[in-house]
Chain A
Amino acid sequence: MVAGPGPLPHPGTDAAATVDPDTDLVAAVACGDQAACRELVNRHLSKMIAVGYRMLGNQADADEVAQEVFLRVWKQAPKWQPGKAKFETWMHRVAINLCYDRLRKKREITGEEHLPELADEAATPAEALQSKELGERINEALQRLPARQRQAVVLCHHQELTNIEAADAMEISVDALESLLARGRRKLKELLRSEMDDVLGAGL
């Protein structure tokens, strides 16, 4: 066995050469430039909603998280120091922390994390797909992952952060991130077995 996956970035993301595309925009936001604020929203709002939606499983919570992220962006922009991390990575960190806060509160109220029921496994894949949209089942499978595994999958697969950026956003090592990713994806394979068999059976 070779050593575990190391802190190497994904293609085109040489950490030393990474330029933060948001640096100028954040500086303009810090000066209250409304056009820059709009551009930052255009550039990142959908990503923040996606993080919230995939972490929390519903639109309302995702909207609130995204709005809170941008409130913090407006306030934090004057203090931003370029070069330490990409601004987008910081935004993801804020988003996942806000999601975590919500999961924690939900857990305090209910005593456990909300784990949505999956459709009856006895149903055939075709019936399952008819009874419930595929996307919804995938969302439910994601929600059944432990929060940290879900964060790792969302940041790396959906948000396409590099392993270094995702580890930074989660404030863990790359090795720990990869462990979370592997266990998360293995669990998803179990949860989405029938859907995967459908795909594989279709020869796609």
Chain B
Amino acid sequence: MTLDEFEKWIDAYGAKISSWPERVRGDAATFLDTDPAAQGLINEARALDGLLDQAPAGEVHASLVADILASTPSPQSSPASTQHTQGFIGRAESLIKILWPQSGWLRPAGLLTATMAFGFYMGFAGGDEINPFYEEESDTIATLFDLPEASDWDGLTWDEEGLQ
């Protein structure tokens, strides 16, 4: 590794060689031990790192936390409904076992009938509550919460310096 190469890496990643890409860390550590100028670069980079560490990071206010938590989605009824469904099927299967204890071949038909009956039941008794989150908002999710597309950046171009 040359001093120029060392400087390029330190320019990008700072003074902590442990933060540099793994494949150059060994060479960098060796170079640091053998070239006094490298230590000067490390000291300067360490000073910059230390200053950057002191850049304010903003504060977390309780009111913001409250606002964010107030915006959380309502609990879905899916898990409860699933348990409800499994409970219903379980009870129906138990009933079939009691009514036709020796009729194993009848069980699938009985279970199917019971499931259909449950479908009718849910249709009349609040099927909308099974998954309102998806029912009501899936389209909105698709349109609002994807990341900006390239077309959103019309009129602007990036180069590596930033906004042009």
Contact = CB atoms under 8 A, between A and B. Distances in A.
A148 B158 contact: yes
B56 A188 contact: no
Give the size category of A's interface with B: 35 or more
Given A37-B73, A54-B57, A97-B147, 8 more contacts: A8-B21, A31-B79, A33-B75, A148-B162, A158-B52, A181-B12, A192-B51, A199-B47
A55 B162 CA distance: 13
A97 B148 contact: yes
A66 interface: yes
Interface in A49-103: 49-50, 52-54, 59, 62-63, 66-67, 70-72, 74-79, 93-94, 97, 101, 103
A148 B14 contact: no
Contacts, number: 188
Nearest to A108: B155
Nearest to A199: B47
A59 B55 contact: no
A189 B44 contact: yes
Contact of A157 (B20, B49, B78): B49
Interface in B2-47: 2, 4-5, 8-9, 11-14, 18-24, 43-45, 47
A30 B1 CA distance: 50
A148 B160 contact: yes
Nearest to A37: B72
A92 B51 CA distance: 23
A49 B69 contact: no
Contact of B163 (A5, A146, A181, A183): A146
Interface of B: 1-2, 4-5, 8-9, 11-14, 18-24, 43-45, 47-52, 54-61, 64-65, 67-69, 71-76, 78-79, 133-134, 137, 140-141, 144-145, 147-148, 156, 158, 160-163
A75 B140 contact: yes
A75 B145 contact: yes
Nearest to A107: B163
A138 B54 contact: yes
Nearest to A176: B160
A29 B71 CA distance: 12
Contacts of A103: 163
Contact of A113 (B2, B9, B163): B163
B113 to A, nearest CB: 31
Given A2-B24, A136-B56, A78 B4 contact: no
